[in-house]
């Protein structure tokens, strides 16, 4: 494995991250803090507890998951889209790097940035609510799997997109609504039976539910189902990336 090549891509992506530190870290933290103020204070004054957990603490896993998903997709999609847009992708493809090593470099950097921001937001949440983590190892496992999976999705979107509009189409119109409707700010047990059934077809529900279980030991769906869902999504994304490099879809065409 060409570790030097992977590290070169990693360093380049991370240097872009550090150059835009305000947009990369400060902006997501401020946005999450506003969510705490709006949802935690305004709605929390009306809904004190959800299944024995204070509402302010209850929404923490959903807020972290919302930001991690957005950041993983955004960093990975822009990371591969710009080399394709300006033509430097051909330099990467002609380098002594396999497709697997290229994916590790771009996706690994994007996943690391999303994971870092998620942990920063987790630390920030302690200033707003009294929070405890029942299963810290599983919490990190869910964060890592989610960061890698959605960084792979962002990588796919970055290759698929032909314009900036297409680049933002799926995150804005698909992913973000699914997160908001996936139990990030409520338990689906609070919904009427029909909408509870509909919610089970939302894949993000399984991510948020499993992640929340690692904090409070409570979940809307079985934890095994959450792990199976994120693993299936990860494998599916890997299969699509393999097909892209196998066929040269929108890279060599």
Cβ neighbours of residue 219 closer than 8 Å, sequence gap 6 or more = 209, 210, 212, 213, 226
Task: Work out whether the CA dihedral 39, 42, 44, 46 comes out positive or negative.
Answer: negative
- The alpha carbons of the chain give a radius of gyration, in whole angstroms, of 19
> Could you count the other beta carbons within 10 Å of the beta carbon of residue 152?
26
| pLDDT tens track, the chain, 253 positions | 788 889 989 998 888 777 777 777 788 888 877 877 777 666 666 677 788 888 888 999 999 999 999 999 999 999 999 888 888 888 888 888 888 999 999 999 999 999 999 999 999 888 888 888 999 999 999 999 999 999 999 999 999 998 888 888 888 888 889 988 998 888 998 889 999 999 999 999 999 999 999 999 999 999 999 999 999 999 999 999 999 988 888 886 5
Tokens 């870092």 appear where?
116
193: its two tokens? 């039976």
Q: How far apart are CA 59 and CA 42, in angstroms?
A: 13
- What are the domain boundaries of the chain? 3-247
For Cα atoms 22, 27, 32, give the angle at the middle one, nearest 5 degrees. Answer: 150
Q: Where are the beta strands (DSSP E) in the chain?
A: 49-50, 53-54
Consecutive H or E run containing 253: none
DSSP string, 12-66: HHHHHHHHTHIIIIIHHHHHHHHHIIIIIIIITTT--EETTEEHHHHTHHHHHHH
């Amino acid at each position: 494995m060409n570790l030097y090549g992977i590290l070169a891509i990693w360093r380049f992506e991370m240097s872009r991250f550090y150059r835009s530190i305000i947009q990369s870290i400060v902006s997501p933290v401020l946005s999450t803090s506003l969510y705490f103020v709006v949802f935690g204070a305004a709605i929390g004054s009306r809904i004190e507890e959800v299944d024995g957990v204070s509402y302010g603490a209850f929404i923490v896993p959903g807020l972290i998951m919302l930001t991690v998903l957005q950041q993983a997709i955004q960093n990975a999609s822009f990371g591969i889209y710009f080399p394709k847009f300006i033509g430097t992708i051909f330099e990467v493809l002609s380098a002594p790097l396999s497709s697997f090593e290229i994916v590790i470099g771009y996706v690994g950097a994007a996943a690391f940035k999303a994971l870092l921001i998620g942990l920063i937001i987790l630390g920030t949440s302690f200033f707003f609510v009294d929070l405890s983590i029942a299963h810290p190892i599983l919490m990190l496992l869910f964060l890592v799997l989610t960061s890698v999976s959605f960084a792979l999705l962002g990588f796919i979107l970055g290759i698929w997109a032909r314009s900036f509009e297409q680049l933002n189409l799926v995150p804005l119109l698909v992913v973000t609504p699914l997160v908001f409707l996936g139990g990030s700010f409520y338990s689906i047990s609070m919904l009427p039976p029909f909408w509870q059934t509909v919610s089970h077809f939302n894949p993000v529900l399984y991510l948020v539910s499993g992640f929340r279980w690692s904090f409070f030991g409570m979940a809307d769906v079985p934890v095994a189902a959450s792990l199976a869902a994120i693993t299936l999504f990860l494998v599916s994304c890997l299969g699509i990336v393999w097909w892209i490099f196998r066929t040269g879809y929108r890279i060599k065409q």
